[in-house]
Structure 1
Amino acid sequence: MENNESFSWGSTITAPHMYPIEIHKGYLANDKEMITGYISTGTSTGDWGYGNNAYVGGKTIPTNLSLTWISYAEKKFWKIEAVLPHDKILALFKEGYMDKDRKGEWSHITYNDITVGLAPGGLVVVWLTGKKRSVEIAHYQAVETFVSANEFYRNPHEDTQEEFYDWSFKSEVPKETQAYIKENGIPVNLWNNYRTKYNYRFNIHFYKVDKESSDRRLRYVNGEEEVIEVKNAGSYQNRALPSYGRFFFSQYNAEVQFDGEEVLNAFKKISKNHPDKSIEIEAKVAFMYKTTTFTVKCEDEEIPLEKTVVKMWKN
């Protein structure tokens, strides 16, 4: 791959969970031609960093991104015109990464998607994504724009712009998100704060003697993802905070879903109280592997992660 100058890729669009968006129009291009176009294919949401609306891609590396979309929760349209880091994208495609199959055999593969994330507040993040791997390559700030309801959709009922916004908010935004916005407002800075990286590690304690039996899989609140080899699992690393984890022990496995805001608030507090200190997420595996609890620790301070959802099963 290191000698290749072109790579086959597709493009996907994503938005934060429960904050849906919909594309109006756009494209990825290079200096000579448009490579792939974006059109409305319905509402996009899901997990931040993992696209669910797929578009045709290309083989040449894009240099320009253009997108206009509606953020239903905010009742507004956004637009981005950005120059992509061509050399960085090409270098990452060439570098690729190592992947282990079900037989335990490692092979050198590379990314297969350019994923564009669109968050409230106009934050735009671009990742290269592949099998069990996602890495941020750029982020941008979009500007608010105007698209009339008549231009955006057929508008058979001749809704006014405000009626269109209100109707879309009620029909497209989940009830839980509507309630959260009513009480707290839209957390427009949250996904930019998720991009902050901390020096930390997981420290796992077992009721009986045990160890991790396979490589650990982690997703992060900034949309990145990786597989960490067992031999490196206990080391401190500068990375984004976890949103999801798969842990494999000798007899049982754990699937963990973290609450992003809870983890972020815990790390903000503990890093403020202990500046420049390494932080641990302590995991305690309970008797008979009934569950695993997680606590953020630094020196003598501990903050339990009480909203973490853990599923344990026998392997």
Structure 2
Amino acid sequence: MSDYKTEKFKLSASPAAPDGYQMVIFEGLFHRSDGETFPVPSGHRLISSWESSSISWAVGDAEQPAPDSLSLVWYSTTEDKFYAGHFLLPQQRIYNLLKTGFWNTEEQQQQTYDELTVLVGVKGMAVVWLAGGKNKVLIGRFQAQETTSRFPNQSAQEHAEILQEERAELPSAVQQQIRAGTISAKKWEDYLRVYPWKLAFNQPLKLYNYGLDYLNAERTNYPATRDMAQYARGILEPSPKAVPRDLDLFVETEAGQRYEIRVVAFDEAETMAAFEALHQADAQAPITLRVELDKPVRKVQLVLDNGLKQLPLTKTTPEIFAAE
């Protein structure tokens, strides 16, 4: 039987930073149980995005076991601060995800995850995801501590000049936050919030496939196995999930007609506020994202419901098409 600490997979790492908030990783290492390490790409000026970057380094043959921890040192240009931390990772869970993988419904074959995405942000915020294909799973959110590190080859004056030049390239909204002293990680902390919610329809429909992206950057577009009924239950039954960012549903009516219901983008502010309002009204009640369709199936609208209160998502416009 394979050992979760030693079995290897094709695995690399990619760095990221929140949009508009420049970060530079000085050292990033995933630690293995055998004492070896593999790196997170470092030395790049990271300025986007919350979800991923195009930077990735192959490490030898790129065969790695599930790491047990992560060490990071990075510089936040936005704050002019260094952060460092050594974080324990859920090694067994990472291994289970790598071992199980997912069923690629387009290529009709079992595949697995191949990249650890590491985001470094303001206020010492660090986030790790495991990505592969069209799927992405949140591994954890970690907290680094501010350090007294400095650039060894820069005088105070040189550093001030470089800092001024680099901050001048940041978005105007970020520059305003720097001037006002209001830099905060709250936006991304809110993205990471989860609520017990499920999907439901106002008429009998069979959900035979779906794709769902979340504000916390997770993506669920392939099932873990070929069992599509089990995959459908994952969204039709309440479980802790982040607020949805976009949605693609494939449904079949009792008469055998198939439709695709698509939400290109939920209105972020409205949807986040609605989830939070229902949660505040009753923290124990599951939230239902109800898909309401007319007969015949031509129009669709979305409503959030916790059994006590209903909140239509009026700023989100779902579309419906005949599915192949």
Q: TM-score, normalised by structure 2?
A: 0.76
Q: SS state of the match for residue 144, structure 1?
A: strand
CA distance in 1: counterparts of 2:131 and 2:278, whole angstroms: 31
* 1:84-137 deviation digits (Å, cap 9, x = unpaired): 3333322321222333125xx4x3221111111223221212222111222222
* SS at structure 1 position matched to 2:57: strand
- Residue 186 of structure 2: aligned partner: 189
> Within the alignment, does 1:41 sit opposite 2:44 as a pair?
yes
1:219 corresponding residue in structure 2: 213
Choose from 55, 58, 63 the match for 1:59: 63
Tell me, in whole angstroms, the C-alpha distance in 1 between the residues paired with 2:164 and 2:321. Answer: 44
Unaligned stretches of 5+ residues in structure 2:
252-257
CA distance in 2, matches of 1:237, 1:275: 13
Give the distance between the partners of 2:163 and 2:318, measured in 1 at CA.
Answer: 38
1:272-287 aligned at under 5 Å gives the runs 272-284=280-292
Q: Secondary structure at the match of 2:86?
A: strand
State the shift of 1:38 in Å: 2.8
Q: State the SS of the aligned residue for 2:245.
A: strand
Question: Is 1:167 matched with 2:169?
Answer: no
Aligned length: 303
Distance 1:256 1:200, change over 3 A: same
Q: Residues of 1 paired with 2:173 and 2:299: CA distance?
A: 27
Residue identity matched to 2:243: L
Q: Structure 1 residue 219: deviation in Å?
A: 1.5
Contact 1:133 1:225 (C-alpha < 8 Å) held by counterparts: yes
Contact 1:46 1:52 in 2 (8 A): no
Counterpart of 1:25 in structure 2 is 27
Query: Given the alignment, which residue of 288, 301, 304 partners 1:296?
Result: 304
| Consecutive unaligned residues in structure 1, runs of 5 or more | none
In the alignment, the residues of structure 2 paired with residue 73 and residue 309 of structure 1 have an alpha-carbon distance, to the nearest angstrom, of 35
Q: How does 1:1-315 map to 2 (within 5 A)?
A: 5-30=7-32, 31-36=34-39, 38-48=41-51, 50-57=52-59, 58-61=62-65, 62-101=67-106, 105=108, 107-148=109-150, 151=153, 160-171=158-169, 173-178=170-175, 185-204=182-201, 211=205, 214-227=208-221, 229=228, 231-232=232-233, 233-248=235-250, 250-284=258-292, 293-308=301-316
Q: How large is the RMSD of aligned CA atoms in angstroms?
A: 3.6
CA pair 251-312 structure 1, distance change in 2 beyond 3 A: closer
Label 1:23 to 1:297 Cα distance change in 2 as closer, same or farther (>3 A).
same
Distance in 2, matches of 1:79 and 1:256, equals 37
* CA distance in structure 2 between the partners assigned to 1:280 and 1:65 by the alignment: 37
Q: How many Å apart are 1:204 and its aligned residue? A: 4.1
Residue 55 of structure 1 aligns to a residue whose secondary structure is: coil
SS of residue paired to 1:38: coil
Percent identical: 22
- What is the CA–CA distance in structure 2 between the aligned matches of 1:71 and 1:288, rounded to whole Å? 54
**What letter matches 2:172 in structure 1?**
K
